[in-house]
Amino acid sequence: MKKLGFILGGVVLASCGAPEQSVGTMEELKAQKDSLVEVRSTVDAEIAAVDAKLEAMDTIERYDRVTSIEVAPSTFVHYFDVFGLVEADKSINLYPTASGKVAKIHVRNGQRVAKGQLLMTLDTDILASSLKELENGLALAKTVFEKQERLWMNEQIGSEIQYLQTKNNYDGLVQKVTTLKEQIALSEIRAPFAGAIDNIFAKEGEIAAPQMPSMRLVNTSGVYVKADVPESYANRVRVGTPANVAFTSMDYEVAAEVLQVGQFIQEGNRTFSINVSLPSSEGVKPNQMVHVALQDYSNTAALTVPASLVQQDVEGNDFIYTLKPVAGATHYEVVKTWVSTGLTFEGRTEILTGLEAGTVVVDKGSRSVRTGQNVVIG
């Protein structure tokens, strides 16, 4: 220590010498630098020796600190995601069953209608005129038939042929009137179920035909979600499988379940179709795209850990660092525990083998510890 003091004193005196009057030659400056470097090296060596002696005299053990998690059974579920579209069985285009000019549209876009309500009529002036003529002829034929019937049946006046002719004429006109009324009825479009008029394609005065839709009627009370699921999940999805349906465009999510599972794999994309219920259909529109999360696994007594704690060696074997208490001490020993893992969902991984309930695993610090290292929890 005295030697160190002399050296430091020399350095101080050398640096605090007479005031600079000249910078000196290059050789003198190099010599001065070499002298200072030598002094610094000596000082560093002395300091290292002192540190070593202090460390040898320090009997207090110091350990790295980590945090821990105690493994306990809990419910673990796994979902996989698919996309689907909202479907509605009661969402149809209405077509006229006969051709003709649109005489009147009785509803407007967005209007709610009842089952059987008249929506549109075609021009039936010619048919109505023909019906009037037939009804007049029918009235006369009926009168003639009734009189002929009384004469023949009650008084045996006339002949049976006359009676049959009048009866045939009357029955024929009855059938013609019925047929013409049915044709007139075909010129009307009525609501097959209650709903709302989503869009009207026809216009008054235009010609309507059976191959041209006139309007769209929608009822969203029975909507559901239709989705395609990859065939790799064929043995995991069944009727009643829980699901969550998220409407990303509406920031809305609803719990649901699978209503129907298709029994056919589509060749083009190797998927099968499913129908998922929609318990609440408020604001839902047919053909709306949704995000469907299907639950394909559940374990009510699973041992899980954060997925970040599962590590692998160079051969791909999974392990987790656990803590083993040291007898008679407050610190723990780090142990590499080999595990087999199951599914991972929302940042947690199920441990199938290797861990037991109550096992303490290293949480924060798991990437910096090593097997056999002593640590404390804190």
| Cα distance from N-terminal residue to C-terminal residue, the chain | 40
Confidence of residue 18 (pLDDT cuts 50, 70, 90): very low
Structure tokens at 111: 């209007």
The pLDDT tens digits of the residues spanning 38-61 come to 888 888 888 988 888 877 776 566
Cα of 78 vs its chain's centroid, Å: 14
Question: Is the pLDDT confidence value at 154 over 80?
Answer: no
Note whether 377 and 365 are within 8 A (CB).
Answer: no
**Amino acid at residue number 224:** Y
The pLDDT tens digits of the residues spanning 321-378 come to 999 999 988 899 999 999 999 999 999 999 999 999 999 999 999 999 999 999 999 8
Note whether 87 and 169 are within 8 A (CB).
Answer: no
Note whether 331 and 63 are within 8 A (CB).
Answer: yes
pTM: 0.61
Give percent of the chain above pLDDT 70. Answer: 92
